[in-house]
Every structure is written in C-alpha cells, then in structure tokens.
Copies of this chain bind each other. A is one copy, B any other.
C-alpha cells in the first residue's frame, strides 16, 4: 500500500534532492549538549538585524491577524522609486529561493536546457529538474563563473542561464567588461537570470540590470544577507513587466508576510546601517582571509560575506572537528570541494574563536 502511495509522486519529483542547509545552532546544541555555539555556515549578517527594522516589526504586531498586502504596496513603491524603475517590474517572494521557483514555474518546460556554473546555488538545478528541464552544470574556472563554457553550450534547447554574481559558494565576482561581452553573444530568446544575493558586498557594484533594455533579464535580490532579515524571508526579482506578469501568475497571493514587508522597508531606507555592515564585513573578511592564509589555507578572492577556504587533505574532517568545538561552518564536499570550507565572515569575536579552534585542530594534528 505505502509503495503505491510513492507512485503517486511525479516522476520528476520522486528523486529530487533535498537542500542541505547550514546546521542550525539549536540542532548542534541538542546533538552535542553544547551551550556556546558559533554559526558561520549560512552567510547571515553576523551583526544582526537593523534596529530600525525591529522597531517597524514591533509597531506592526497588532495587525498581524490580517492577511498581508498581496502586492507589498509600500515596499514596492519605495524600491521602484529608488531604482528608477516601474512598480510593475517587481515581484516579491518568500526569500529569493521562492523567486527561483517562480521563475521555473513561469518559464521552464520539459526538455528545456538550463545552464549554470558548478558549484553554484543548488536550487537552480533542482527547480529545473522539478519542471522536467535539464540542468547543465558547467565547472567554474578557479572559482569564477564559466561564461565561455556557457556560451559554448547554448543550443536551440537552451531556455535560460543562471548567473550567480557574486557566486555562491566561491565568492568571486565577474568583470563587468567580460559580462557585457557575454550578454551580447547570448541569443535573445535565452532568459538571463542574475542572482545578486550578495550584490551589496561588491567592491564596485554592477548589476544585471544593465542589460534589462536589451535582453530578457531577471535580476534577483534578497534581504537575507546584507539586510539581516534571513529569518523573516523576503527577496525580489526585477525584470520587464512582461516577464514579471508570468511570475505573478504562479505566485501565491500572500507569499510575503506582513512583518517582513515593514521590516524590509525600514531596512531599505536605513542606508547608514547598511553601510556600517558593509564596512565592518570588509574589515573582518580581510582579517579572516589573512589569518586563514597565514595557516596555509588557499582562498578564492571574495566580494561577499563569506570566504571559500581550502585545507588540502583536511576539509571534511576539519568541519566535523569544528562542530565538536561548537563551531559550525559549511563543509565544501557538497559543493564538490572536499578540501574546502565555506566560512561566513563573523564579528571579530566569532572570527577569533573560529581561528583559534582551527589552529588548535591543525596543531594537534601535526604533533
């Protein structure tokens, strides 16, 4: 009987992989009876949420028995105005992970080929499979998104290309020049999806928005990283109104909760706090990178709030040993980097604890 139940699941879904998130702090506490846990595994904003956003949440609490505004009216108006775009060029989602699913639902068909780098954010591949499309994963070059290989692999079946810039989990940024040339060579019926979750951390920010007039482009942004709202879930896509219309038709009416609408609005307006976070992150990323390299690790050049670091021959074991000490980082094995650790930039205190623990593990190993 239960076997026949399993047969009710769509063929495309029955073996879809689960996303493996960074281990939650509570889970590590439960599992190992630890009290003091440092999490540098999910590229959250280590300095916490903008206090202005918290105030906005508290003020709105009496109204949460009401459904949220289906169109995120205030937030939409504000973001559209500050980017100089029309309100109908936006769709808001329950995190940009939901937006990625809306894109697949709106545009990907069985038999389509969807191109992407490897490693990159694993959801691009799974939503493609969910729709019966074929994800084609092309290896990054030394951590850089493989634009040339992508161009080589475009066929008449290619429906879309995902470009994660800065790329997760490598942290690298494409050169604007290089990207311009790439876009000019992509056929105009191929959708270009720029995932810019780490946009705010770029040294000289530039965006896929540059190509909005000349190509079918969707740009993704999130409030989960620099804006410190990962727990409340909101991301958005910017595109032409025609493509947004398709995504709106597969969106739930109340997909963006009421508290995150007011929180995101407050955080978006408070550029001062955002700049502080970006500055603190840059200082700490430099510190963390230097110290990691000082103990023999190699790193990819990062313009994000994480560092992909390689410890030849030690990666996977290292992440396990760090867990024993109450420190959670992301092991690189799932990304195809068995020697790698993806480490979120923490506060100075968190980074020091991580570095001390790493030094102890490595020293004990050598002696």
Contact = CB atoms under 8 A, between A and B. Distances in A.
Interface of A: 2, 4-6, 8-10, 13-14, 16-19, 21-22, 24-27, 39, 42, 44-45, 47-49, 54, 57-58, 61-70, 73, 94-95, 97-98, 101, 105-109, 123, 130, 159, 188-189, 191, 216, 224, 228-233, 240, 242-243, 245-246, 248-250, 252-255, 257-260, 263
Contacts of A107: 8-10
A255 B17 CA distance: 16
Contact of A61 (B9, B54, B230): B54
Contacts of A250: 13, 16, 130
Nearest to A64: B231
Nearest to A248: B18
Contact of A48 (B65, B98, B101): B65
A35 B98 CA distance: 35
A301 to B, nearest CB: 26
Contact of A24 (B4, B65, B69, B130): B69
How many copies of this chain are found per oligomer?
Answer: 2
Contacts of A260: 257
A13 to B, nearest CB: 5
Contact of A9 (B4, B101, B106, B231): B106
A39 B66 contact: yes
Contact of A188 (B4, B106, B232): B4
B254 A97 contact: yes
B65 A45 contact: yes
Closest 5 CB pairs of A and B: A231-B258, A9-B246, A64-B231, A5-B242, A16-B249
Given A8-B107, A8-B246, A14-B249, 20 more contacts: A2-B240, A4-B188, A5-B216, A5-B242, A6-B246, A10-B107, A10-B109, A13-B106, A17-B249, A19-B252, A22-B67, A42-B66, A44-B65, A48-B65, A94-B252, A97-B253, A97-B255, A101-B252, A130-B250, A231-B257
